[in-house]
Structure 1
């Protein structure tokens, strides 16, 4: 269907207005008017236009009247005359290019049950008169450019189940009157400029399933009354300025599956109440000011993602994470991210029981001793970051069994031995490996690297069965002939390899490109 301006739409609506008046406001007459409107559209089969039919010549006004024009490339403003269709039960204008303000006359559609204005370019304030739509059960205003306040008259929506006004530019307070919406199940006000505390009255919304307030400028403590919302499954308060401690009443949210609190100023002790949330799937506590040990997160066994980076967590990894009732009871955990804390102690071997783990980040803590061999069980691992700890000794060769591993970061530890043999490594060895200052033994056999950088501390290196070319470095680590086999392009005064002067002659060949690498080898592609 071609693009339809609201200038044409206004003309059609005036026709509807006339027909609605002369036909004693009969729903059948209004439907016939809408069918005449439909006949003017270029594509009768696009979107939901094909569903615009009159069921029977004897249809009565018991049928709900629905005006569905979503995704029809409409532009211009919403004409105020649309309010003349008093029998409308549902008005769907979402996913068009409508702009301008919402007409105040929309508040006259007293029979309206569902109103969809989302995903347009509507601007200006939300009319107070919309509070007259007391029969609404669904209201979608999201993804527009609406400004100013949320009207307190929204407290009249006592039948409302869904209220979406996210991704606008709304400001000011969250009205206390929203606590009157006892039937409300979904409340999404995220990504606005709301500047207030969270009203305690929201704790009266006993049917609420989703509460999304993230990405605003909310401040003050989280009201303890939110702990009354036992139907809540998804609570997202991230990216605000909330402070104080997590209310103990949060332990009552027994149906909660998603809890996002990251990027606030929440403080005091780490929220141990979380251990009561047996159905929790996703938990994000990053970038707050919690102190003390990490919360015991695996009581229910459902958790899939836990992140608590950029905080002040201290002490050992909790006992609940070290025994078979801890990490081992989190079979669905796919992401464990607790970087940049002050966690001490060892990495528990029971981590090998978390067989669905894909991302593990324990970097920038104070973890000590060896990396557990049980890591080999985590065959789904894609990314591991253990950098900036005090891990030492040998990297277990079992890491080579992690066939899905794409990233392994051990920077700034005291690793003495690293075995990366029998993989498909190619290209340059990352410069960060030069920061493994304690590294003495490196096995890169059966790979295809093409450069080394600053590996001066090596005492032993196995680079056999690669495709390396160029000069062999003078370091003792590279003088064991057995560790250099399978690299036919190497040259130097090492027994079994061509002399250095032969390499210098061959380097004149334009097909061979070489460059010296300080502390390593000269390699060719």
Structure 2
């Protein structure tokens, strides 16, 4: 009997304990549910209806989307509602999720300040708020989250300095505050309490001051990025004691001084970026000690001396030394880095010497070779074709000689070829530019720049066989002769066509109309004949048209007024006749109109005032008659205006005073009469003024810009008097 009573008592206690625990669990899970409902209530936009449809009292919180509960206490342990395009704010109730270990709301549009109640998330190890619109200062209460391992606040609108207390959270392994507007200096003792820190990203900020010399105390660092900020001063040599560092990004700052030779101590380093600072001195040869290095970017600095040959011992995939003051030959060992893959750039230095004859054999994986703007000489080696992965070959602005090798046509992946401004020619055995025929095999070619070379040949008919991928074709100032082949019309994706300053003859081919995507066409300073073809009027995307300095004759096509995208129109120095068509004044976006040195005639229409955004108009050296229309006062953006050497009559309109930005006004060699309006004295930017060879009379204005003009501006008029 006693035994039965004892067992009954035990059973009652068990049931009571179970009921108590169940009630407590229900209370706690209700607390979690209330916190999440408060978050849901603060969501203003849920475009995918994820929370609207899923977070319901009809189901357990632990079954909600993005929610995970612990098996033991059935409390919310993880909340992941990242990348759901949610918009709203964080309620203070979220701080009641006291068992929360992981919080990830990244990739949304949450805004406002972080509520201080989040200080209660004492178990939190991951806080990922990246890519939202949070603002205000970083909260100092973060120090209370003593178990935090990952603090990711990147790409928000946080401002102010970083509270020094954050660097006292000794459990931190990953800090990412990049892409905010944080400012101020980093505390010198920031690494005194971060023994576990592996990643520190403070890039894209307004942080300034010097890099703390004690940074080496974060001895476990593997990733350090301070790029795109405002750090100044030298690189502290102590930073080179971070022997576990794999990636170091210091680019686009105001760092200066020499690169410390201790840099060679970073034996684990794989990526190093110091681009766009103010580093001076030599490139340390100790880089050769970093045998793990794959990417090295020292571009846009003021480094001098030669390239250390020891760098050739590395197994680099990317080497960028562009925009420095490096001199001497490129060490042969550099061209033997067969691992170079993504890019090798020495752009804009003072390097000299020849390219090795086996260059293509030793760089089989390279995609971009950029050596332009140096003093390199010799020929382009035929072996370059063995670098079969080349996408970009940039050799412009050097002193290369010889023929452009036909073997370039074997570069099947080539997209960008820059050979301009050298001393390159074509195969002398043919009057045609035969290398162009070989380049038609490059079916992915997009950019072809050949200008300012003594090519001295004719375009082959095969130019029409270029791939339709070609978008930019430049062959200016190269002594190119003959006609423009009709096959040019096959290049249907051409955007820019620059052929000015050559010896091209014949007509503009009618097939030009097939270039429907063309935005810039420059055929200036050739010997092209015939009339301006109506086919140009089909180029409805054309923004810039240069036909000056040819032998074109006949009228300006009225249909050019339909090419409303035109902003630059150069027709000067031809033999064009008749009047300027009225439709041309409909080009509302026209910035520059130059039709000087032709035989255009007729009155200047009042519609000239419709060119509201024009900055330069030159109608000089034609046969225009009549008065200057008063509507020119509407050309308030005009800086250059010339009507010189025409047959214009009547007075100088007083309305010129409205052209407040005018810097140059030439009305010389006409039959203008009357006085020079004193209102022109208000044109404070006017630097050049010429009304000589007219029939003007009266007193010359003396104030404003007229105080600086000489007799040359007023000579041979009828009765001008006074200064100068």
Give the TM-score normalised by structure 2: 0.56
Corresponding residue to 1:162 among 165, 174, 188: 174
Match of 1:213 in 2: 226
1:333 aligns with 2:341: yes
Corresponding residue to 1:202 among 193, 215, 229: 215
Question: Is the CA contact (8 Å cut-off) linking 1:394 and 1:416 kept in structure 2?
Answer: yes
- Three-state SS of the structure 1 residue aligned to 2:256 is strand
- Three-state SS of the structure 1 residue aligned to 2:52 is coil
Q: Aligned partners of 2:100 and 2:244: how far apart in 1? A: 32
Match of 2:115 in 1: 103
Question: Is the CA contact (8 Å cut-off) linking 1:280 and 1:300 kept in structure 2?
Answer: yes
Corresponding residue to 1:316 among 323, 329, 332: 329
Please tell me the root mean square deviation across aligned C-alpha atoms, in Å. 4.1
Match of 1:265 in 2: 278
Question: Is the CA contact (8 Å cut-off) linking 1:154 and 1:177 kept in structure 2?
Answer: no
Q: Aligned partners of 1:455 and 1:268: how far apart in 2? A: 38
Counterpart mapping for 1:117-516 below 5 A: 117-179=129-191, 180-295=193-308, 296-301=310-315, 303-321=316-334, 327-352=335-360, 353-417=362-426, 419-424=435-440, 433-436=450-453, 438-441=454-457, 444-448=460-464, 457=479
- Three-state SS of the structure 1 residue aligned to 2:303 is strand
Q: Aligned partners of 2:131 and 2:489: how far apart in 1? A: 57
Structure 1 residue 238, shift from structure 2 partner: 0.5
Q: Aligned partners of 2:504 and 2:108: how far apart in 1? A: 67
Q: Aligned partners of 2:318 and 2:67: how far apart in 1? A: 46
Q: In the superposition, relative to structure 1, how do residues 287 and 332 fare at CA in structure 2: closer, same or farther (>3 Å)?
A: closer
Give the TM-score normalised by structure 1: 0.76
Q: In the superposition, relative to structure 1, how do residues 395 and 26 fare at CA in structure 2: closer, same or farther (>3 Å)?
A: farther
Q: Aligned partners of 1:107 and 1:401: how far apart in 2? A: 64
Residue segments in structure 1 that go unaligned for 5+ positions in a row: 1-21, 322-326, 470-476, 480-486, 490-502
Structure 1 residue 198, shift from structure 2 partner: 0.5
- Three-state SS of the structure 1 residue aligned to 2:377 is strand
Q: Aligned partners of 1:510 and 1:93: how far apart in 2? A: 60
* 1:311-344 residue CA offsets vs partner (Å, 9 max, x unmatched): 10111102422xxxxx333234231111110001
Q: Aligned partners of 1:101 and 1:298: how far apart in 2? A: 52
Structure 1 residue 213, shift from structure 2 partner: 0.5
Q: Aligned partners of 2:395 and 2:261: how far apart in 1? A: 33
Question: Is the CA contact (8 Å cut-off) linking 2:415 and 2:447 kept in structure 1?
Answer: no
CA radius of gyration, larger in: 2
Q: In the superposition, relative to structure 1, how do residues 412 and 23 fare at CA in structure 2: closer, same or farther (>3 Å)?
A: same
Match of 2:90 in 1: 78
- Three-state SS of the structure 2 residue aligned to 1:153 is helix
* 1:206-251 residue CA offsets vs partner (Å, 9 max, x unmatched): 2111101101100011111111112111111011000111112211
Q: Aligned partners of 1:443 and 1:401: how far apart in 2? A: 20
Name the count of aligned residue pairs.
459
Q: In the superposition, relative to structure 1, how do residues 108 and 253 fare at CA in structure 2: closer, same or farther (>3 Å)?
A: same
Structure 1 residue 121, shift from structure 2 partner: 1.3
Match of 2:668 in 1: none
- Three-state SS of the structure 1 residue aligned to 2:400 is strand
Q: Aligned partners of 1:320 and 1:137: how far apart in 2? A: 45
* 1:318-375 residue CA offsets vs partner (Å, 9 max, x unmatched): 2422xxxxx3332342311111100011112232121112211111101011111110
Q: In the superposition, relative to structure 1, how do residues 166 and 368 fare at CA in structure 2: closer, same or farther (>3 Å)?
A: same
